[in-house]
Amino acid sequence: MWNIDPSTNYNSTAFWHKLVSKLYECNEALIIFPNRGNGMTAACVADSWEESDLYPIKQREYRRVWVDDLEYRKTFRENEVIHMRLNNRNMKPILQGIYGAYGRLVAAAMSAYEWGHGQHWTVTVDQIASGKDGWNETFQKMLEETIRPFLENPSGVLPITNGFDWKQIQAPANGVKTTDIKALLVDVLEFTARGIGIPPVIALGSTENAENAQQRFLSALDPIADQLEEEINRKRYGMEQWSRGNFVRVDTSTISHFDLFAQAGSVEKLIGSGTFSVNDIRRALGEPLINEPWANEYHMTKNIGQMEPVSGSQ
């Protein structure tokens, strides 16, 4: 259910994407387990729900649970669902405040950039001509038929008529550049990444120190994986099954890409030291397991042995 087929309309990849998206958008996510009708249980990420008040020793209840276009009329109790929270405090209002402030800055920068790279003119009009009846209408018509084509055409001609003195306004030399707008957008991405525990290098798509950034990224993923593992085991299995060795393990050890040939020496040491079997290694690499007894056995090279007490002999 968790790795391949969580529900009828979602494979595991789509299921986890929806769960993580909901978790980061709303700071919480709810998973319910309706029956599929064929004796199997489905895992569904809720889109919205209503919660009862929280009491220390009373189970919380969830009502009006919506999944996609379906509303469940059933009232779900706490022991029937998995309810996850990302942070004790919802970061979304804080990030939205940052977005609002930077949104205004970006809009102002883009407006200043467009003004600085546009054409701006002044015109001095003879006072006698401007005082004639219908002058405003005549001037507006001239702007549309003569001046606008001149400004929009890369090789236009501006006719000079008596009573009009045209002058172009030059944009300031230190005006807004595209790099200034880009810097503001980069600031937004960096603030967002830091707010949700992602290294800015990963959010910006930079390759500089990417390997170290991926290792730091695990510090943001592991708490979510631990919470999910604990919730699944305590809600879906319980103490009795867990004590018998029946539980779910959320493994994040294979998130980083693994170069098989570059790490061949390390693989040999892991097997030769008796730490892992061949199938343990193949499972970590995402390779199919070998259906042979020897692949599940543990071995140790003769180079590793118990230390003998040092005697007084030379």
Which residues span the domain enclosing 71? 12-85
Q: Can you say whether the dihedral through the CA atoms of 224, 228, 234, 239 is positive or negative?
A: negative
Cα separations (Å) of 300 from 170, 237, 263, 274?
A: 80, 36, 19, 5
In terms of domains, do 101 and 174 share one? yes
- Tokens at residue 188, please? 């937004």
Q: Which of 235, 252, 269 is the last residue of a domain?
A: 252
pTM of the predicted structure, to 2 decimals: 0.62
Cα–Cα distance for residue pair 62/52, rounded to 1 Å: 6
Question: How far apart are the C-alpha atoms of 133 and 234, rounded to whole Å?
Answer: 87
Closest CA to 176 of 101, 98, 104, 108: 108
Same domain (yes/no): 97, 174: yes
How far is Cα 236 from Cα 245, in angstroms, rounded to an integer? 13
| The Cα angle at residue 211 between residues 210 and 212, in degrees rounded to 5 | 95
The predicted structure's pLDDT at residue 193: 78
What is the distance of C-alpha 99 from the center of its chain?
16
H or E element: which one contains 286? none
- Domain boundary at 57, 85, 113, which? 85
Q: How many residues does the chain have?
A: 314
Query: Rounded CA gap, 274 and 279, in Å?
Result: 13
Model pLDDT, residue 314:
47
Name the token pair of 53.
Answer: 């008040």
Could you tell me if 32 and 84 are in contact, meaning their C-beta atoms sit under 8 angstroms apart? Answer: no
Q: Do residues 102 and 126 both lie within one domain?
A: yes
Q: Name the pLDDT band for 14 (thresholds 50, 70, 90).
A: very high
Q: Domain for residue 188, yes or no?
A: no
Reported as a single tens digit per residue, the pLDDT across 193-213 is: 777 777 777 777 776 766 677
Are 104 and 161 contained in the same domain?
A: yes
Report the domain count for the chain: 4
DSSP string, 164-208: EEEEEEPPPTT---HHHHHHHHHHHHHHHHHHTT--HHHHHT--T
Same domain, 241 and 272: no
DSSP 214-269: HHHHHHHHHHHHHHHHHHHIIIIIHHHHHHTT-------TTSS---TTTTHHHHHH
Q: What is the DSSP string of 50-118?
A: EEPPPBTTB--EEEEEEETTEEE-SPEEGGGSEEEES-SS--HHHHHHHHHHHHHHHHHHHHHHHHHTS
Average pLDDT over residues 35-55: 87
Write the DSSP symbol of residue 274. Answer: T
- Beta-bridge mates of residue 61: 77
pLDDT of amino acid 139: 77
Residue 132 lies in a domain: yes
pLDDT tens for 236-268 read 998 999 889 899 998 877 676 666 777 777 888
Q: Which long-range contacts (CB under 8 A, 24 or more apart) does 283-288 make?
A: 284/253, 284/254, 284/258, 285/254, 285/258, 285/260, 286/254
Judgement on whether residues 133 and 204 belong to the same structural domain of the protein? no
24 lies in a domain? yes
pLDDT band at 120; cut points 50, 70, 90: confident
Domain presence at residue 141 = yes
What average pLDDT does the chain have?
80
Classify residue 239 as exposed, middle or buried by CB count within 10 Å of its CB (0-12, 13-18, 19+): exposed
192 part of a folded domain: no
Q: Are residues 216 and 272 in the same domain?
A: no
Q: Is 146 helix (H, G, I), strand (E, B) or coil?
A: helix
Query: Per the domain annotation, does 2 fall within a domain?
Result: no
Greater confidence (215 vs 40) lies with: 40
Q: Which domain-ending residue is among 178, 210, 228?
A: 178
- Residue 158 belongs to some domain of the structure: yes
What's the pLDDT at 128? 58
